[in-house]
Structure 1
């Protein structure tokens, strides 16, 4: 309230509303004003009239209008009871009773569970801190009222308006905390406003105040400066706080009764900083200790970087769905039926992402997600990847389809580059797949790769959708060891293979890798050329081999010996030929 606001300062008689407060812990401070006027009010003062006009609020009756205005002006809600209707046993109590209650807005609600209520002869007349009842409400003919002004603990009012679907400004304020020592001041302001509009016939006050001690916080200027991040002298800190209504007592700061939001040193620092100005706090460089271990790349991060570099987009989905898998954990209070279980795999969520993008005319979809999945046996960390449509938008990729070979090649390259270990694929049968292969790493099954069935994807598009999902819970990057680079020159040899079927490349790779593992001088091999003409059934693959020794310069004879082994073992496979031999 502004310091120049008019407040009634005269003496007030005492009166007894005979309220029996049975919930003093919830409502420690409550006051009543009994006021009677001589006649009707025909016109409001400009400030009161503008309040309704500017905020677009409808008028009710004189006393209720003042009550609403006071809540706006002071932040303290009040409630007016028609004094002529208050004959009986008057109580404030928290009780558990299912009953019908008609609000002053003519809404009939059913009170359930425990509620803090004002009662008259054991009948609820007001839902305390939320809304009054119709039975004791004021009207245009009301000339005598009891104005209730109280402090309720915020946690008691919290959620009550939402529970009963009531639009209550009073509940909004009580939930956030009001001044627990302002009751008399607010009621005296009520008197002043009434007196500006009509003649007051009588007035009296009743106060029941149990909570009078204001909250204190230990004060340390050093701690405040640590939070602010700048040096502010103690006398300046105290001066700012005093200007804001705080008081200093030895090593403590006394919090104003209207500042229920202040409960720790951080709040004091924020108040001081706001006055100084956030922009006036000199910035300082952030000094953090370097954790060497955190600089290392995890397998998960390496996979993420690999896929992003290939043009995949990462997605993050809700971990809930309506899976029928018996291993899924059921949620007690789901948001809806479609999110009633914790997902046991990522692929279903990715399939929904594909359909979403297809419906928006996306013809090149490359997505992945890294997330935890849960079953009744425990948690797994998984990577799911899904593709559909064209390989890309540029000239070379536009006519290429994202198919099974593309996705399998992506998986092989990712795992072989990051782990340098053996990867095996075993054909199997699984629900929701047209065809699928199990993925094994070092002999242990870690996931599956395949073409998803149309029923599972539930897409209107006829284009195929391929995906893989692998468990990376216990996979770690191998320890990187360093060794000197050989000072001796390398020798490179190339071989071009004609292959009858794409599937034979795996067999060829395994045989060449076997020779590589037996030879000490074959350091590296990779595919440098690939040509396929499906119409003419032509498939050619070019391999490059790097030979090098750490001890001497190699001779052609030594290299030819290894190359002969590669040629011999390759030619022994049906469907594989070497150009020129």
Structure 2
């Protein structure tokens, strides 16, 4: 919000300079974005009156003017198209100093233009650094005093201060609100404008009906007849509007804009003769048309609040009026509107139509819900002074049940001292809160009941009051305290692996961590997971982020694709994050870790072969993760299937028979769809399961030798080594340490549909040497079990 420092000082004038004021309000939480002078640094410019304006004898686009400064007359050559006799304008006399765009200055001297002497210069706004307007010389009011210094006449020794308010401080979106704040900070009196109700001069009113009281619980209106539409807004009002970034339009609109800036209450004026029936505040009908004041034609949504008459919508409530009922140069009768609209009813509606107005900016942040009648009276007072007319009675329709309630908050002295870290005197607490306009009553020892005024709609709980105390007391005045706390050592769960250790393990194996979005495109989600129906977002940012992921793979594969498209051929990425799995009406947020690899097995170098990665590379990475918690023997890899994985290169990762993840090659058709280059391999595991392990236990190393036996079994092609291993471990006795597969053979000497598995079995006893008879006995028992379960026979 932009405002004039002079205007602010009309209400409150603390004994500090501009920079002090800027620093003070910034430290109070109202950040100042910019401070700029109202006009450039010029001197010697007065109010001049053009007495005559005649064509230059030697130039078509120049005029020779006779200009008076009130005591003398001067000949001035001017090229402005609006120079004319009777116009009062800015006259830079010989010797005047004007600013230039590069920050320097130049001095007005006597000149000769096309053989005609010129004693001075008639100035446009941009030549004085007032605005960028260069359409012609300045046009001052007809009653401007000729000869008066222009800076003094226009009050140009002023600063425009631009404040960037946080959304909760809508009460400061007005000069009155800012003055109230500055008065509190400086303990300075504020000269609030006292508006007296204007007595009705006529009985005319316009009926009002509230059909959406929850969105508009109060609506105030007033009829004013027989105004003079040709009247002009006074200079002081035009200047205050301009310095607040609002262009003067016509006196009626200027008054409503002025009241908005002065009090913070948005208003609108309808052309009464263009309204029919009655005013109805209601929700729009879907597709209902409305042409706005800026000429934009919109089709309204049914969640948009509108002001309507019997013919349809005439304004978008709290945002912008309609063109059909707006005031024009022919308007003689008006209907003033001042309403309180709920923040929720206005929030986001302007943006939905590509709009942002001063009105919507305020209603979205909150407006004083007791201000509407006062705003109508203030606007009426100004309009009668400027455009005349006869005012009817104020009509107010309100739904008390839907209006905000006055907040009463309990404030504890002990809580204030705790949060501010020092002992603030009770008298100072009461004094600050009272200055802020709050009513404070003691309700017990060290407690108060605080009543919040209607304009401070951002204060609702105890900590809000404490924040106000800190703000007004001064953040830089609060004592510095080092936080103290009891910090006991956090117990280290030895049976649980930290997530950081899991990450570090993959980083050590050449992976890089990626962070991808939890929201993905619906079609991509279905390609990677056909088991779950992903939850759709009600208001997605884009179509590519429409559903919540049920697997981490889509984001990782897209990241790999992005890297491949930028000439990165060797890729190893992993991610830890949540996947969102629908469970009936519930949504399970499950932690997972996933990875993707593609490209060569080893980084490019003269010592290594350019061998591409395969299934066993990623399987080895997964096995290293499974071993971190010391429970690798509880996991197994079982051939399986997954919609996103290659049918012949997919393994289900199981822990004690329960599925906890998948590992495999990306499905060829999916890889082709995504445009992936080369084989791509993926894994995904439940992170919480991966981190759970066994507590390490010490066992003495055996000093007795190991005994190893190698056997070769012929089994059916579909029999897996894992199944064979589990069967052997079940029969090989307690001292069998390892069952290792060291060869797989298919070919001559082996029947079709069969394969030979060469196993190495190792035993070791902790307290003695095992005999051959003992080992042969358990081998025979294991081979017998394998024959029974799988039809396995020893290979000869």
TM-score clears 0.5? yes
Match of 1:456 in 2: 670
Q: Is the 1:29–1:180 Cα contact (8 Å) retained in structure 2? A: no
Q: Distance in 1 between matches of 2:483 and 2:324?
A: 63
Distance 1:248 1:334, change over 3 A: closer
Match of 2:552 in 1: 346
Q: Is the 1:368–1:386 Cα contact (8 Å) retained in structure 2? A: yes
Distance 1:163 1:385, change over 3 A: closer
Q: Distance in 2 between matches of 1:319 and 1:118?
A: 39
Moved more, 345-354 or 253-262: 345-354
Q: TM-score when scaled to structure 1?
A: 0.73
TM-aligned CA deviation for residue 388 of structure 1: 1.6
Q: Does 1:18 align with 2:205?
A: yes
Q: Distance in 2 between matches of 1:202 and 1:49?
A: 27
Q: Distance in 1 between matches of 2:338 and 2:539?
A: 41
Distance 1:6 1:397, change over 3 A: farther
Unaligned runs of 5+ in 1: 498-505, 527-542, 570-581
Matches within 5 A, 1:15-94: 16-23=203-210, 26-28=216-218, 30-32=220-222, 34=224, 38=228, 40-42=230-232, 44-45=234-235, 48-49=238-239, 51-52=241-242, 55=245, 57-85=246-274, 89-94=277-282
Moved more, 453-462 or 246-255: 453-462
Match of 2:14 in 1: none
- 1:151 counterpart (322, 327, 340): 340
TM-aligned CA deviation for residue 122 of structure 1: 5.6
TM-aligned CA deviation for residue 67 of structure 1: 1.8
Distance 1:445 1:282, change over 3 A: closer
Distance 1:238 1:134, change over 3 A: same
TM-aligned CA deviation for residue 386 of structure 1: 0.9
Match of 1:135 in 2: 324
Q: Is the 2:580–2:588 Cα contact (8 Å) retained in structure 1? A: yes
Q: Is the 2:535–2:547 Cα contact (8 Å) retained in structure 1? A: yes
Q: Is the 1:100–1:111 Cα contact (8 Å) retained in structure 2? A: yes
Matches within 5 A, 1:193-212: 198=386, 200=388, 202-203=390-391, 206=394, 208=396
Match of 1:469 in 2: 684
TM-aligned CA deviation for residue 202 of structure 1: 4.6
Q: Is the 1:430–1:436 Cα contact (8 Å) retained in structure 2? A: no
Please tell me the root mean square deviation across aligned C-alpha atoms, in Å: 5.1
Corresponding residue SS for 1:48:
helix
Q: Does 1:217 align with 2:409?
A: yes
Q: Does 1:317 align with 2:517?
A: yes
Distance 1:410 1:78, change over 3 A: same
Match of 1:410 in 2: 621
Distance 1:400 1:560, change over 3 A: farther
Deviations 1:535-566 (A, max 9, x none): xxxxxxxx9x99996xx8x9xx889999999x
Match of 1:421 in 2: 633
Q: TM-score when scaled to structure 2?
A: 0.56
Distance 1:291 1:36, change over 3 A: farther
TM-aligned CA deviation for residue 170 of structure 1: 1.6
Distance 1:31 1:371, change over 3 A: same
Q: Distance in 2 between matches of 1:455 and 1:361?
A: 22
Match of 2:291 in 1: 102
TM-aligned CA deviation for residue 114 of structure 1: 6.7
Moved more, 389-398 or 223-232: 389-398
Corresponding residue SS for 1:219:
strand
Q: Distance in 2 between matches of 1:28 and 1:265?
A: 28
Structure 1 or 2, whichever has the larger Rg, is 2
Q: Is the 1:34–1:144 Cα contact (8 Å) retained in structure 2? A: yes
Q: Distance in 2 between matches of 1:284 and 1:240?
A: 27
TM-aligned CA deviation for residue 383 of structure 1: 3.2
Q: Is the 1:327–1:376 Cα contact (8 Å) retained in structure 2? A: no
Q: Does 1:329 align with 2:533?
A: yes
- 2:593 counterpart (383, 402, 410): 383
Deviations 1:382-410 (A, max 9, x none): 43221122456596889675443321211
Moved more, 312-321 or 423-432: 423-432
Corresponding residue SS for 2:506:
helix
Distance 1:361 1:268, change over 3 A: farther
Distance 1:459 1:79, change over 3 A: closer
Corresponding residue SS for 2:694:
coil
Q: Does 1:175 align with 2:175?
A: no
Q: Distance in 1 between matches of 2:601 and 2:262?
A: 65
Q: Is the 2:232–2:250 Cα contact (8 Å) retained in structure 1? A: no
Q: Is the 1:452–1:465 Cα contact (8 Å) retained in structure 2? A: yes
Q: Is the 2:601–2:612 Cα contact (8 Å) retained in structure 1? A: yes
Q: Is the 1:179–1:258 Cα contact (8 Å) retained in structure 2? A: yes
Match of 1:254 in 2: 451
Matches within 5 A, 1:267-346: 267-278=464-475, 280=478, 282-287=481-486, 292=491, 297=496, 303-312=502-511, 313-320=513-520, 321-322=522-523, 323=526, 326-329=530-533, 331=535, 333=538, 335=540, 343-346=549-552
Corresponding residue SS for 1:94:
strand
TM-aligned CA deviation for residue 371 of structure 1: 3.1
Q: Distance in 2 between matches of 1:35 and 1:223?
A: 57
TM-aligned CA deviation for residue 491 of structure 1: 9.0
Q: Is the 1:255–1:262 Cα contact (8 Å) retained in structure 2? A: yes
Q: Distance in 2 between matches of 1:405 and 1:462?
A: 19
Deviations 1:98-140 (A, max 9, x none): 6433333333334453765444446443333232222331113
Q: Distance in 1 between matches of 2:481 and 2:325?
A: 59
Distance 1:147 1:353, change over 3 A: same
Corresponding residue SS for 2:454:
coil
Q: Distance in 1 between matches of 2:497 and 2:677?
A: 38
Distance 1:289 1:194, change over 3 A: farther
TM-aligned CA deviation for residue 518 of structure 1: 7.1
Distance 1:21 1:38, change over 3 A: closer
Larger RCO, structure (CA 8 Å, separation 6 or more): 1
Q: Distance in 2 between matches of 1:220 and 1:33?
A: 49
